[in-house]
A and B are shown apart, each in its own frame.
Chain A
């Protein structure tokens, strides 16, 4: 979706301000939101792209005015209700009114922590040969799906060069709809700064995105 989350190239957000000796979590509730999101995500009722889409679907004014872990919290509440794991009245009361649902894996216990400390695998085997090779000139397609996609707006319609051919990966645009993994070849495509930003580009800069094959066409 063409949402406010797709920030690449926008102006007006000010300077990047780094914090000295920053803690991992600034408030205890941030750590709890992180851990609740990871454990409920590991249950397998929704996938990683449904999770990302959950953040993109927050109203723009909420997205832009909520700190990072508040966006996570709102997303978690919404996903839990949407998938029937929790009801709104339970959230409002702060207590369970009904037993838990069976869908997904069993109770996440301390023994399961190791499972979420390393990232999962998104690589899949794909019988078809990749359409593009390193060095090929490709154009990022001018697509504007209302659903979740991982092709940022700032490269759409622009021409770049395939720099790396990765392995086939699960395809977010399909995963998010619950339509299966539909593995697609993944490429690092490099764009010259001038191609993306014209006369306003900083000299001697280039940007790459990691693009799934359906995002690209020969140039």
Chain B
């Protein structure tokens, strides 16, 4: 988040006190148990994250049938790989090719495929990304150090409804014969949002 997004105000400790107060009120009124809050925070800090999407991507590089299943109905294909065993029913996998590079944004809020990538990073929620991704995606990619050939079309998906998008990056060169586990480690979160590409590996 840039300084313009006012990420770190002096009201922080004030806010912390207010949040604690509201939590106390809601627990005292019997709306929620503290243990449930603890578990929700912990689940998002420890078990739900981009490793879920990364495994699906790696598998799609190795298994053509899985790739087909992912592209035709990503929600069903990925569900067994997730913590909850199910995902929102409108997950859509979009594949990068030498001709098309896909990139995902939510200009209106910060919609993001939580169940396969975890909670979004601050930059994804930033006003800079939300405003610029649809108008100058190549410039945004440059902020991430990604330069695409001019003949590669950049295709931006604005998540304006309850559909969620997962980008399938291209398999990097030099990974022939790699196992699913080894490939999974190459797939960073940013690749699956479409602002990164997995690095080619040295051959030999």
**A binding-site residues for B, Cβ under 8 Å:** 5-19, 22-29, 31-36, 38-40, 43, 52, 55, 64-68, 70, 73, 76-77, 80, 85-86, 90-91, 93-96, 98-101, 107-110, 112-114, 116-123, 150-152, 154, 164, 166-167, 169-170, 172, 186, 188, 190, 196-197, 201-212
13 pairs, A vs B, C-beta closer than 8 Å: A8-B107, A8-B108, A9-B131, A16-B143, A18-B190, A29-B20, A67-B8, A117-B83, A119-B164, A150-B108, A154-B135, A196-B134, A202-B136
Q: Are A113 and B118 in contact (CB under 8 A)?
A: no
Number of residue pairs A-B, CB distance < 8 angstroms: 297
**Count class of interface residues, chain B:** 35 or more
Q: Pick the contact of A18 from B12, B121, B157, B162 — CB < 8 Å? A: B121
Q: Is the interface of B mostly helix, strand, loop or mixed?
A: mixed
Query: A8-B158, A121-B88, A206-B155 given as contacts; is B23 within 8 A of A32 (CB)?
Result: yes
Q: Pick the contact of A65 from B6, B84, B129 — CB < 8 Å? A: B6
Give the interface centre of B44, B114, B134 by most chain A CB atoms within 10 Å.
B134
In Å, the complex CA distance between A119 and B164 comes to 10
Query: A18-B190, A32-B19 given as contacts; is B30 within 8 A of A99 (CB)?
Result: yes
Q: Are B158 and A208 in contact (CB under 8 A)?
A: yes
In Å, the complex CA distance between A43 and B108 comes to 24
> Is B159 interfacial (CB 8 A cutoff)?
yes
**B binding-site residues for A, Cβ under 8 Å:** 1-9, 12, 15-16, 18-26, 28-33, 35-41, 43-45, 48-49, 82-90, 92, 107-110, 114-115, 118-119, 121-123, 125-140, 143-144, 150-164, 190
Q: Are A150 and B22 in contact (CB under 8 A)?
A: no
Q: Are A205 and B131 in contact (CB under 8 A)?
A: no
